Amino acid sequence: MLEQVVHDTAHDINHIKRVVKNAKQIAVDEQADIWVVTAAAWLHDCVTFPKNHPDNKRASGFAAKAACEFLSSIGFPENKLAGVFHAVEAHSYSANITATSLEAKVVQDADRLDGLGAVGVARCYAVAGKLGSKLYNEHDPFCQARQPDSKTAAVDHFYEKLFKTATTLQTATAKRIAEQRVEFMEDFLTQLRTEIS
């Protein structure tokens, strides 16, 4: 049996449950293979490393292998394992693997949606706290005259990754969900600007 190792609250069991929920919704709307999508969503983070670990970018490959070994051991249909493997391996933003199947696109979108909206803001600050980053850069909080660096400030992560992530979504369903979540994040930054000005 796989045992999840949690390195931060952004990748705990609640993250998994939210990704599964997103993935099922997208799979139904996009007519993807629900078996492959659901299995891959549940197991997409079965192997993880801390954000600052040298193997972090390789975690999804390790997770894909572990997921398929586990599924095979419990009698999951053999003809669906390759689909699960690809969906798990390709879900990671940092791994930079192109999702070529509809199911992989669904799982990748479902995972990326969890980095957006209110939960995305909460996860961003949870990880920043774990890494010892500031809430924002006091000299240029919104990266107007400098390159964002999420290792030093949480707000920088919005510009370095999160808003870019929203542009990488591949399914119409995920893009529709993301619009509202990105709008919330922009409103959050507007409010933050008001409070720290």
* 186 contacts: CB under 8 Å, gap ≥ 6: none
pLDDT confidence tier of residue 50, bands split at 50, 70 and 90: low
pLDDT confidence tier of residue 9, bands split at 50, 70 and 90: confident
pLDDT at 189: 98
Q: What token pair was written down for 19?
A: 């990704």
pLDDT at 55: 66
Among candidates 118, 125, 89, 132, which has minimal Cα distance to 182?
118
Question: Which residues share a beta bridge with 153?
Answer: 134
For residue 53, is pLDDT > 60?
Answer: yes
Radius of gyration of the chain (CA): 17
pLDDT digits (tens, 9 = 90+) for 157-197: 999 999 999 999 999 999 999 999 999 999 999 999 999 99
Q: What whole-number distance in Å separates Cα of residue 197 and Cα of residue 194?
A: 5
pLDDT at 31: 98
pLDDT digits (tens, 9 = 90+) for 11-22: 789 999 999 999
Q: What whole-number distance in Å separates Cα of residue 116 and Cα of residue 146?
A: 23
112 or 6: which leads in pLDDT: 112
CB 39 within 8 A of CB 84: yes
pTM passes above 0.75? yes
